[in-house]
Structure formats: structure tokens, C-alpha cells
């Protein structure tokens, strides 16, 4: 199971050097928290973004 999972992650991400920071990789994968903010309102709770590859999420 683990080799298959690792192969899937590597194939979806591609060249890891494209992501200079971990937060960039997290956003690409779709597990970075999304911020709810408009004007002066700042949300107190965050949700996981649904962007990125559904295979990696």
C-alpha cells in the first residue's frame, strides 16, 4: 500500500523543486486552509481548500 501511495504522490506533484515553500505545495495539493475575509470582516474558522488534485487530497 505505501509504495503505491508514494508513487501516486510523486506522479501528481512532479518536480518538487517547483515549490520553494511548503505552503505553496500545500496549496497545490489542496490541503491549505482557506481564509474567509471580506472588507473588515475576518472569519474565525477556516476550512480546507478544495483546490488542487483530488487524488492527493
Residues 4-24: tens digit of each pLDDT: 888 888 888 889 899 999 888
Beta-sheet strands, E only, within 1-57: 33-34, 37-38, 41-42, 47-48
Q: Is the CB of residue 49 less than 8 Å from the CB of residue 33?
A: yes
Does residue 57 sit within a domain? no
Summarize the confidence of residues 44-54 as an average pLDDT: 64
Which domain does 30 fall in, by range?
A: 2-48
Summarize the confidence of residues 39-49 as an average pLDDT: 62
Does residue 55 sit within a domain? no
Strands 33-34 vs 37-38: parallel, antiparallel or unpaired:
unpaired
The C-alpha cell 500545500 sits at 26
Does residue 53 sit within a domain? no
Does the pTM surpass 0.85? The reply is no
Query: In total, how many domains does the chain have?
Result: 1
Does residue 54 sit within a domain? no
Exposure letters 6-25 (e unless 16+ CB within 10 A, then b): eeeeeeeeeeeeebeeeeeb
Amino acid at each position: 500500500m505505501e509504495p503505491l501511495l508514494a508513487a501516486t504522490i510523486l506522479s501528481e506533484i512532479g518536480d518538487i523543486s517547483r515549490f520553494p515553500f511548503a505552503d505553496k505545495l500545500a496549496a497545490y495539493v489542496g490541503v491549505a486552509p482557506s481564509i474567509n475575509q471580506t472588507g473588515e470582516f475576518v472569519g474565525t474558522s477556516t476550512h480546507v481548500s478544495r483546490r488542487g488534485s483530488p487524488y492527493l487530497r
